[in-house]
Structure 1
Amino acid sequence: MTATPSRVFVARLAGIAVFDPAGDQIGRVRDVVVVIRQHPRPPRVLGLVVEVPPHRRVFLPITRVTNIDAGAVIFDGRINMRRFEKRSSETLALGEMLDRRVELADGGEHVIVIDLGMEQSRSSDWLVTKVAVRRTGVSPSAHAHRWTAGGRSAGTRLGLRRRRGETFVVGWGAINGLGVVEDGQGAASLIAAFERMRAPDLANVVHELSAKRRGEVAAALDDRRLADVLEELPEDDQVEILGKLDADRAADVLEEMGPDDAADLLGELPLEQREQLLALMQPEDAAPLRRLLSYADNTAGGMMTTEPVIVSPDATVAEALAQIRNPDLNPALAAQVYVCRPPTETPTGRYLGTVHFQRLLREPPPTLVSAICDTELDPLRPELPLETVSNYLATYNLVSVPIVDVNGRLLGAVTVDDVLDHLLPDDWRENVMDTDVDLDEEEEALRNAEAAQAAQNGERPN
């Protein structure tokens, strides 16, 4: 391996791009696979878990990596596209080792692992030789990734006395207990490693974790971020994670979710648990969910969101554009504005028509939306089936459709992503793909040899 730093901290690898020799990006690093060996022998790095489109995790042997720098990993161009499955003898450095509470061999003090440093030995093997730790008492977000090229924090380099909350680097042999599973393990450092990741990508990372780590990550995420992640997870994971939260927090997270997603999740819960959570929610948040739960799943009412962009007839183009500029708004919902008589919260006054965002961009800002709204396309009723809704969107090349009741009041809107969620197979989020890729001999030999050695040494999997 050439032009590679002598030491690489694994948290810095999270999410960086992976390129082939031609310079084409094939995916991003999601984790580092190691084998923990009998103490004090440092763990051996087997390879990287790389996520390739669409959300498929594969194994890249470390022997095929030719260069690692601050912004990219380059490999020799050979990669097995078979889905990665962790062996019992293997440990995920990011997913399982960060945030562990370990003991310093010198003095027995307990510290938290916030990063791991790996480097190449004289025999060309990659080993985890350094551990970045934090004294308890201060959030790791203020200290994460403060290592110099030499792998020492500024405080340690200056020889300052270690303080509560301080971060510093020690050798692998200077800690005990990292190979022991810890109950109640934190997840702040793991979350910090992926803090810039989009919600669907973070959801894929969470999905691949063990049930134990999923619960710990959920406990560490704030309500808004957890809500975003839950919306992107398979239903089984949603139910599992929500069940591990106390009822008050579960209700808070549901309030942060989109009404349609929250209603779908509540629909998967036992009736008693569903009613308990609805009772704990704010009445203004629970009411639309109760309305959505009254509709059959594969109907317009069951798929719609109750929070489209709604303006009154006397609103101006400038006011409508200000609403769709909201960065938290779903792009499909931001593509059009619904004009309704007051009240402008669902169920609204009488629905008058739709203004598409392209029309808004063409009109002078002072123009009233009532003068430019499209009244030709009829809205749909909530009891109509999925097939009718999907045909409507396809026929008129729309990304959403308004849903009204018998009195012409707007109840919500069904977006194209809502329709796709129902048209795709139930397990589409898990990206289940059949493959006939042959086993890679080099990859198999590397991983099998480590598993056999671990068994021979009597080492237990992490």
Structure 2
Amino acid sequence: MAAGAPRIFVSHLSGVAVFDPAGDQVGRVRDLVVMLRVAQRPPRLLGLVVELATRRRIFLPMTRVTAIQSGQVITTGVLNVRRFEQRPTERLVFGELLDRRVTLTETGEDVTVLDLSVHQLPARREWEIDRVFVRKGRKGSAFRRAKGEALTVEWTAVTGFSLEEQGQGAENLLATFEQLRAADLANVLHHLSPKRRAEVAAALDDDRLADVLEELPEDDQIEILGKLKEERAADVLEAMDPDDAADLLGELPTDEQERLLNLMQPGDAADMRRLMSYEERTAGGLMTTEPIVLRPDASVADALARIREPDLSPALAAQVYVCRPPDETPTGKYLGTVHFQRLLREPPPSLVSSILDSDLQPLDPEADLPAIAGFFATYDMVAAPVVDEAGSLLGAVTVDDVLDHMLPEDWRETEFHLDEEVATDGS
């Protein structure tokens, strides 16, 4: 950025694409790294935390940034793709500075940090934080936004950034990442400190936290769940996909499992207990108990309305299962499957019973992982029904759950093998 260019508020950099000089996208900005300095001198902006397509997070020094403009960051030179490791003297802007309570030195009034601005020093490739956007009044919460005068002040006008803060909020951090998919927000949480991770989890609503938990490594799941009040932990488990919730419950001590199950709605608890009764790497252990179930007298229009439900995953929306009453799993007699492509080709008033795929053999709940994978590969399916000996539909296994269990246990924490350095200047 040339001297005299306008300051940039850091919230505008969240998720911004990073390009090399050839115009190829390298990754996206996930945080900024600063170093606090003594005597209230403005912090020096050391660089950016950039997330590559492989989800590896690397450090991009500001000396390699040639421009920040039009919603993009342009880099030059050689990009070091070693995984970013935060040093003790460094602070993450999104992860640690936003939502802090600091003090206005002139009045002694406590304020909440909403945003920070950075600018490039004249005639140098050095950047620093120069201003702080704050709000007066009490902190907000996950359900109540704080009210009060908002104002922008010089960095030197506030104090308290270097202190360890207990109970730091997460409202503005979450606003910065509100457009992220659950898997990407999970990656953000994974890289935060345990303290900050717990604060962000506490600020998420139950449904959003449930989606994020499903994408986190097992250790992070257990850590976060353990820091929630038991009543809320039970609510979050209810909001998760039943198979994922059962897997998480299965990792907890038996007495803790029982306490949480007793706090859940009876129907949800019954689903959890049923799923936990199967071996983890079987169709019964992998299935969800909430597929789309229709009676044989339902119409194609009814089926299309069901698969349009926004909360359904693409895999579960790919087909509906036709069964005799009752409609909840375990259902009455399973009659067959209707694929969504067939639904699109049929007149809306037609009955789903007239277009059944009844030749597709369902999975046995005791089928092991190799047999399930073979089924998906043979029939090019993204979901498969699980039916017991009595002919009742118990649930459905989706291809994403199969992949989760076929990949190494730590796959969420590892990236593709990359060279330690790659050239971004075409050399």
TM-score range with shorter-chain normalisation?
Answer: over 0.9
Aligned AA (1:195): E
**Equivalent residue, structure 1, for 2:185:** 202
Query: Once the two structures are superposed, what CA deviation does each residue of 1:40-66 show, in whole Å capped at 9, x if it has no partner?
Result: 111100111111112111111111112
**1:193 Cα deviation from its structure 2 partner:** 0.4
**Equivalent residue, structure 2, for 1:88:** 88
**Equivalent residue, structure 2, for 1:348:** 331
Count of matched residue positions in the alignment of Structure 1 and Structure 2 = 422
Query: Once the two structures are superposed, what CA deviation does each residue of 1:410-435 show, in whole Å capped at 9, x if it has no partner?
Result: 00011100000000001111125555
TM-score normalized by structure 2? 0.95
**Equivalent residue, structure 1, for 2:234:** 251
Alignment of 1:409-448 (within 5 A): 409-432=392-415, 435-437=418-420
**Equivalent residue, structure 2, for 1:132:** 133
Match of 1:377 among 355, 360, 373: 360
- Structure-1 separation of matches of 2:144 and 2:359: 58
Query: Once the two structures are superposed, what CA deviation does each residue of 1:243-297 show, in whole Å capped at 9, x if it has no partner?
Result: 0000001011111111011101101111111110010011121111110000011
Does the 8 A contact of 1:138 with 1:165 survive in 2? no
- Structure-2 separation of matches of 1:309 and 1:297: 23
- Structure-2 separation of matches of 1:142 and 1:351: 43
Does the 8 A contact of 1:133 with 1:168 survive in 2? yes
Aligned AA (1:56): R
**Equivalent residue, structure 2, for 1:445:** none
**1:21 Cα deviation from its structure 2 partner:** 2.1
**1:77 Cα deviation from its structure 2 partner:** 5.5
**1:143 Cα deviation from its structure 2 partner:** 13
- Structure-2 separation of matches of 1:95 and 1:176: 18
- Structure-2 separation of matches of 1:360 and 1:3: 60
**Equivalent residue, structure 2, for 1:237:** 220
- Structure-2 separation of matches of 1:16 and 1:386: 40
Aligned AA (2:327): T
- Structure-1 separation of matches of 2:4 and 2:320: 52
- Structure-1 separation of matches of 2:267 and 2:149: 45
Does the 8 A contact of 2:334 with 2:392 survive in 1? yes
Alignment of 1:313-332 (within 5 A): 313-332=296-315
Does the 8 A contact of 1:4 with 1:69 survive in 2? no
- Structure-2 separation of matches of 1:232 and 1:23: 31
Aligned AA (2:180): M
Aligned AA (2:302): E
**Equivalent residue, structure 2, for 1:79:** 79
Match of 1:358 among 341, 353, 357: 341
- Structure-1 separation of matches of 2:15 and 2:265: 37
Query: Once the two structures are superposed, what CA deviation does each residue of 1:350-376 show, in whole Å capped at 9, x if it has no partner?
Result: 000001111111111111010001001
- Structure-2 separation of matches of 1:379 and 1:289: 22
- Structure-1 separation of matches of 2:223 and 2:196: 12
Query: Once the two structures are superposed, what CA deviation does each residue of 1:137-158 show, in whole Å capped at 9, x if it has no partner?
Result: 47499999xxxxxxxxxxxxxx
Identity value in percent = 62
**Equivalent residue, structure 2, for 1:57:** 57
**Equivalent residue, structure 1, for 2:286:** 303
Within the alignment, does 1:266 sit opposite 2:267 as a pair? no
Alpha carbons of structure 1 residues 325 and 5: separation in structure 2 relative to 1, 3 Å: farther
**1:24 Cα deviation from its structure 2 partner:** 2.1
Does the 8 A contact of 1:347 with 1:410 survive in 2? yes
Alignment of 1:161-240 (within 5 A): 165-240=148-223
Structure 1 stretches of 4+ with a deviation exceeding 6 A read 140-144
**Equivalent residue, structure 2, for 1:97:** 97
Within the alignment, does 1:14 sit opposite 2:14 as a pair? yes
Within the alignment, does 1:395 sit opposite 2:396 as a pair? no
Within the alignment, does 1:292 sit opposite 2:293 as a pair? no
- Structure-2 separation of matches of 1:228 and 1:204: 12
Query: Once the two structures are superposed, what CA deviation does each residue of 1:188-230 show, in whole Å capped at 9, x if it has no partner?
Result: 1100100111100000000000101100001111111111100
Alpha carbons of structure 1 residues 398 and 42: separation in structure 2 relative to 1, 3 Å: same
Does the 8 A contact of 2:118 with 2:130 survive in 1? yes
Does the 8 A contact of 1:5 with 1:68 survive in 2? no
